[in-house]
Structure 1
Amino acid sequence: MAETKDDSGPALPPAIESAWGLRGRPPRGPRPGLSVPAIVDAAVRVADADGLPAVSMSRVAKELGAATMALYRHVASKDELLTLMVDAGYGPSPGPASPDDDWRARLTRWAWAEHDVLRQRPWLLHVPITGPPITPQQLDWMEDGLRCLDGTTLPEGEKMSILLLITGYVRNEATLTNQIAEGSRAAGVEPGEMMPAYRRMVGRLIDPVRFPALLRVLNAGVLDQDDDPDDEFTFGLDRILDGIEALIARRAA
């Protein structure tokens, strides 16, 4: 019995009904061409261009050449709009990997796909997380992530925990990279000059008795140039995958 659909329980939130196309059409009005997908696409364009703070119902209405109140016939609130924007912003999941790839190659591909989305659309990181994924494309991402672990000996609960671990790492790395870039721009620091400037400041402040380990880092030239964010991401992801590999081996034994 593979059927898992459950129609019991509380009613679905309006945003989820809209995401899954379960809401009826609103009555025809002066702008019959206005639709939920058109509104969401316009909101994503605004966020892509000017960031999440620029997204408002009035700004999206202006983007569409419509009255603000006309949007509320399709999207009940800004919170509902944000939910739909996240689903659209992530876009389609990376899809099935090559059948020749092992679980590690598949998870690496999946993590890099999310990494690239968050680098391209950092406004996604500013939308509050209010619960587990429930919209269509987000569940597609989850499905593909779980399939990466097909063929391992891990129980299903640990597969879910691995996805949570990896996506948490991806979001944290993307948030850190984005905030550092924003801070550098605000301070007028040229790209590639942040770490050298930091090294000079730290070198003026520390003494070798109190900070011997940090001094060794400075003397080794670790802070002489900015790191490539992709290199840092690769290093961290590989360490996580090493741990998962050890877990799989332990479960198999």
Structure 2
Amino acid sequence: MEPTIDETDPPLPPVIEAAWGLRERAPKGPRPGLTLAGIVAAAVAVADAEGLGAVSMSRVAKELGAGTMALYRYVGAKEELLTLMVDAAYGEPPGPGGTGPDWRAGLARWSWAERAALQRHPWVVRVPISGPPLTPHTLGWLEDGLRCLDGTGLTGAEKMSVMLLLTGYVRNEALLMAQVQEASAASGRRMDETMAEYSRLVARVADPGRFPALHAVIAAGVLERDDDPDDEFVFGLDRLLDGIEALVTSRAAG
């Protein structure tokens, strides 16, 4: 089914036209050997290898053996390139998974899949969010998540809020883990060594009379353990799904 077009609708941004293949050809004529997909793939490879800060139009052009101005025939600005890179990094969505009574398993599968995508391309969480998802892959991920909630009795607004809650949690956890790993690598120490030192430093500066709860945690040895990141992710995700399940149950009872 073709999407409906209203003459009063705002025009599509050029980057969205490019993402959906709505440009017949590159402006001013394409350069032989260059494609939009190839440009995006080269930019993603640079970000994967060296981080987001290494990505520039000139650097990507160099990787492709082209002049910088040739890229502007396909991508209007670096910001547009970043949008296309994020869409490519997410890739194909995981599929809707469970629906109805299996909605929880479906959303868990969706969340783990998004986390895996962000772990493959950790720079994605450092790209500023300029608006709601509108590129092909990001809309596909949203569609799959919403379909997991079919049959739950939640309203459309509640379903969208659930997806915002989950993706916010996954993105924040991915960013936190990336920053922790970067800090550990920069210090040249293992995470268990870093946490053990942190525990000792906290004990030195935090007065037990003012921070009794924190000292109880220190005494239990919690800060000296290098917990499995998967365990932390499971804990947070389960608490979110517990809350969503309470809402679904209340809708069924009401």
d(CA) in 2 for partners of 1:87, 1:59: 20
Q: What is the TM-score normalised by the length of structure 2?
A: 0.94
- Equivalent in the alignment of 2:25: 25
Post-superposition CA distance 1:126-184 (Å, at most 9, x none): 11101000000100000000011111111111001000000001111111111111122
Q: Superposition pairs for residues 1-253 of structure 1, below 5 Å?
A: 5-8=4-7, 9-26=9-26, 27-28=28-29, 31-97=31-97, 102-253=102-253
Q: 1:101 to 1:109 in 2, by over 3 A?
A: farther
Q: Letter of the aligned partner of 1:89 in structure 2?
A: A
Displacement of 1:3 in angstroms is: 8.0
d(CA) in 1 for partners of 2:186, 2:200: 19
d(CA) in 2 for partners of 1:59, 1:149: 43
- State percent identity of aligned pairs: 63
d(CA) in 1 for partners of 2:13, 2:167: 25
Post-superposition CA distance 1:63-85 (Å, at most 9, x none): 11111111111111111111111
Post-superposition CA distance 1:4-41 (Å, at most 9, x none): 63343121111000000001213545x31211101001
Displacement of 1:119 in angstroms is: 1.5
- Tell me which protein shows more helix as a share of its residues: 2
Q: Letter of the aligned partner of 1:67 in structure 2?
A: G
d(CA) in 2 for partners of 1:4, 1:21: 15
SS at match of 2:145: helix
SS at match of 2:192: coil
d(CA) in 1 for partners of 2:57, 2:184: 31
Displacement of 1:222 in angstroms is: 0.8
d(CA) in 1 for partners of 2:153, 2:29: 54
RMSD over equivalenced CA pairs, Å: 1.7
Q: 1:82 to 1:157 in 2, by over 3 A?
A: same
Q: Letter of the aligned partner of 2:61 in structure 1?
A: A
Q: What is the TM-score normalised by the length of structure 1?
A: 0.94
Post-superposition CA distance 1:183-228 (Å, at most 9, x none): 2222232233221111111122223211111111011111121111
Q: Is the 8 A contact 2:153 2:252 kept in 1?
A: yes
d(CA) in 2 for partners of 1:195, 1:40: 39
d(CA) in 2 for partners of 1:75, 1:199: 49
SS at match of 1:66: coil
Displacement of 1:101 in angstroms is: 7.2
Long gaps (5+) in structure 2: none
Please identify runs of 4+ aligned residues in structure 1 that moved more than 4 A. Answer: 98-101
Long gaps (5+) in structure 1: none
